Structure 1
Amino acid sequence: MRTLLIVVVFVCCVDTATGYCYAEEVHEDQCTTRDGVTIPAGSELHFPDKCEKCTCSSTPGKTSLFLSCCGYGIHAGVYAPPPGCKVIAGDDGCSVKIVQITDESQPCSH
């Protein structure tokens, strides 16, 4: 119980960026993202404005397709910067920069 409490306190106090993925089976001849963008079977699309990549692939032995979308860069996972630092998006909006909390123009030197 004590370990769980320590983990919860640590997670609440750390500046983080989180990632995401979603996937679903599709029963049509193409995939459609949650935003309504259609992706042909066997294709992959990148959405740099959302730092997201989606693929529409066939499932072996099935007639259905499989849509998979995941964040990349700043949306790829959880980042826990060192004390005195924070995570921000890079100049392209997707890359990750770890900078000083007091001056975002300065890289974190920890």
Structure 2
Amino acid sequence: MNPKISDFGLGRCVAGNEMEVNASRVVGTHGYMSPEYAVNGIFSVKSDVFSFGVLLLEIVSCKRNRGFVHQDHNLNLLGHAWKLYKEDKSLELIDHELQLAD
């Protein structure tokens, strides 16, 4: 797992009091880009928060977002995490090697 830390910081491109910017060219690693940036080229400081959240999910699950495959559905890691959250099963996302022993 090699996080692309250089992808973080796009939000710093937002100048002054602007809350978001529409980029003419989308750059970054697809697995870490916020949907509004990847689809519409709109990024803000929230884009960095999204990227950091993906990285945290990868760390606690010991799985990569890109290339994640689950036997029961076709969701990526983010979709899988959201599905578990809605089912009140978020703790199932944590890799068993990281869970504390009882």
Greater helix share, structure number: 2
User: Which protein is bigger by CA-based radius of gyration?
Assistant: 1
Higher relative contact order (CA 8 A, sep 6+): 1
TM norm. shorter chain > 0.5: no
Q: TM-score w.r.t. structure 2 length?
A: 0.28
Greater strand share, structure number: 1
